[in-house]
Amino acid sequence: MFNRTAVFDFLLLEFSEVRALQFLHFTVFLIIYLATVTGNFLIISSVALDHHLHTPMYFFLMNLAVLDLGLVSVIVPKSMINSLLNTRHISYSGCVSQVFFFVFFMASDFCILTVMAYDRYVAICNPLHYEMVINQQACTAMLAGVWVAGFLSAGMHTTGTFATHFCSNVVNQFFCEIPQLIKLTCSDLNLIEITTIGIVVVLAMGCFVYILVTYVHIFTTVLRLPSAKGRQKALSTCLPHLIVCSTFIFTGCVAYLKPVSSTPSWLELIFTVIYSLVPPMLNPIIYSIRNKEIKVGMKKLLRLKYPSNNVYSFTEYVD
């Protein structure tokens, strides 16, 4: 146990003391960041500028892209700057802000994935009721619920994490991650934040089970389609969605629930990178690369050649 001292800033994880490896870390994170920003920005721009894409399904997809942009922008640039400048410092207020916005974007991201699963379920399993169920008022209410859930989760986690004093300022992670911060508190057990984590994990697992059940219904409906090509396209699109959601929830739960070691662990670092950086980078690919409408919108945005006659229908939701 450290002596109780006032903490005015924190020291983040240093990937290496070797300058060449620091530049390597900067380069790798820069590539990940640019790929994530480019993919999500193309989706946002395509949906916003193409009136054919002004439908609920693409409205939710655009908001997912906005959340993914915010998620990576909260943690990656600071880590890159630290490696470039050969420093580890982050201010106390900067750490508080990083925790708040990271949790906000992370929680909102998972909530909107749940909403998108519901939207997909209605569109595929009950297409005749889609316009009545997923109308403008319902979309606005669901999106408002996503943002409110994100803010409440962020507020609870930030308050619970920083409600006590810290006895050390060395964070064994490349950003201010909550489990690593809890380890630095002067008390042996931070009951407020641990209780909050437990509640959030239970809710996250509930959302994941809902997504899983929703996809079971979708798969059941899709397998009844007479077209073998339609079944293949639907399964090839839905399965990657499930894989990303599963990776997101599994690695996130492991990172937050496993005992935090006293020394930096490469396994902890890998789990953190997977749940915080991989989904925002893969979502634009999974949710758009096999979607003809999004590809047409991107071609319009980039002023490339695109088909003049396009049929826009709910069947494209699984195309």
Q: pLDDT tens digits for 270-292?
A: 888 888 998 899 888 887 666 67
Task: Indicate the pLDDT class of residue 1, thresholds 50, 70 and 90.
Answer: very low
3-state secondary structure of 272: helix
What's the pLDDT score for residue 269? 85
Other C-beta atoms lying within 10 Å of the C-beta of residue 195:
12
What's the pLDDT score for residue 57? 85
CA 300 – CA 145 distance, rounded (Å): 32
Q: Which residue has the tokens 């146990």?
A: 1
Which phi and psi angles does 179 have, rounded to 5°?
Answer: -60, -35
Cβ contacts of 129-136, under 8 Å, gap ≥ 24: 130/314, 134/56
∠ CA 5-11-15 to the nearest 5 degrees? 150
What percent of the chain shows pLDDT beyond 70?
85
Mean pLDDT of the chain: 82
Residue 27 or residue 160, greater confidence: 27
How much is the average pLDDT of 214-237? 75
What's the pLDDT score for residue 289? 63
* Residues facing 166 on adjacent strands: 185
**C-alpha 109: how far from its chain's center?**
5
Task: Indicate the pLDDT class of residue 23, thresholds 50, 70 and 90.
Answer: very high
What's the pLDDT score for residue 148? 94
Q: Which residue has the tokens 């997909």?
A: 120
CA 162 – CA 160 distance, rounded (Å): 6
Residue 98 or residue 259, greater confidence: 98
Task: Indicate the pLDDT class of residue 2, thresholds 50, 70 and 90.
Answer: very low
Domains of the chain with CATH codes: 9-318 (1.20.1070.10)
Task: Indicate the pLDDT class of residue 313, thresholds 50, 70 and 90.
Answer: very low
Segment of 21-25, 30-34, 310-314 carrying the highest mean pLDDT: 30-34
Other C-beta atoms lying within 10 Å of the C-beta of residue 286:
17
pLDDT(230) > 70: no
Please enumerate in sequence order all residues whose Cβ is within 8 A of that of 126, keeping only pairs 6 or more positions apart, or say none. Answer: 133
- Of 9-23, 38-52, 135-149, 304-318, give the lowest mean pLDDT range: 304-318
The pTM assigned to this predicted structure is 0.86
pLDDT(314) > 50: no
